[in-house]
Amino acid sequence: MAGPLRFELTDKVVVVTGAGRGIGKAIAESCAYYGANLALGSRTVEESAAVAKACAQHGHRAEAWPLDVQSVTSINTFVDQVLATYGQIDVVVNNAGYNVPKPALQYIEEEFDQIVDINLKGSFFMATRVAQSMIDRGIPGSIIMITSQVGVVGGPLRSIYGAAKSGAGHLTRSLGVEWAPHKITVNAVAPTFTRTPMLEQALKNPEFAKNLEKVPMGRTAEPEEIAGAVVYLASDAARMVTGQVLCVDGGFTAP
User: Tens digits of per-residue pLDDT, 36-92?
Assistant: 999 999 999 999 999 999 999 999 999 999 999 999 999 999 999 999 999 999 999
Answer whether residue 182 is part of any domain. Answer: yes
Q: CA 144 to CA 17: how far, in whole Å?
A: 11
Answer whether residue 225 is part of any domain. Answer: yes
Q: Among the listed ranges 18-22, 80-84, 162-166, 209-213, which one has the minimum average pLDDT value?
A: 209-213
Determine the residue type at 165. Answer: K
DSSP code at position 118: I
Q: CA 124 to CA 110: how far, in whole Å?
A: 20
Q: CA 6 to CA 4: how far, in whole Å?
A: 7
Question: Can you tell me the mean pLDDT for 119-128?
Answer: 98
Contacts of 112 (CB under 8 A, 6+ apart): 160
Determine the residue type at 205. Answer: N
Cβ pair 15, 89 in contact under 8 A? yes
Report the CATH number at residue 203: 3.40.50.720
Residue 171: pLDDT above 60?
Answer: yes
Answer whether residue 8 is part of any domain. Answer: no
Residue 220 confidence class, pLDDT cut points 50, 70, 90: confident
Phi and psi torsions of 133, nearest 5°: -65, -35
Mean of pLDDT over the chain: 95
DSSP code at position 194: B
Coil, helix or strand for 130? helix
Count the domains in the chain.
1
Answer whether residue 5 is part of any domain. Answer: no
Q: Beta 13-17 vs 91-94: how paired, if at all? A: parallel
Question: Can you tell me the mean pLDDT for 203-229?
Answer: 88
Q: CA 72 to CA 127: how far, in whole Å?
A: 11
Residue 233 confidence class, pLDDT cut points 50, 70, 90: very high
> Active site includes 161?
yes
Answer whether residue 99 is part of any domain. Answer: yes
Answer whether residue 35 is part of any domain. Answer: yes
Residue 169 confidence class, pLDDT cut points 50, 70, 90: very high
Answer whether residue 7 is part of any domain. Answer: no
Predicted model pTM? 0.94
Residue 121: pLDDT above 80?
Answer: yes
Q: Give the pLDDT score at 207.
A: 79
Catalytic residue among 33, 34, 98, 161: 161
Answer whether residue 119 is part of any domain. Answer: yes
Q: Give the pLDDT score at 212.
A: 83
Q: Give the pLDDT score at 3.
A: 78
Q: Give the pLDDT score at 229.
A: 98
Residue 6: pLDDT above 90?
Answer: no
Residue 111: pLDDT above 90?
Answer: yes
Domain with 103, as residue range(s), is: 13-248
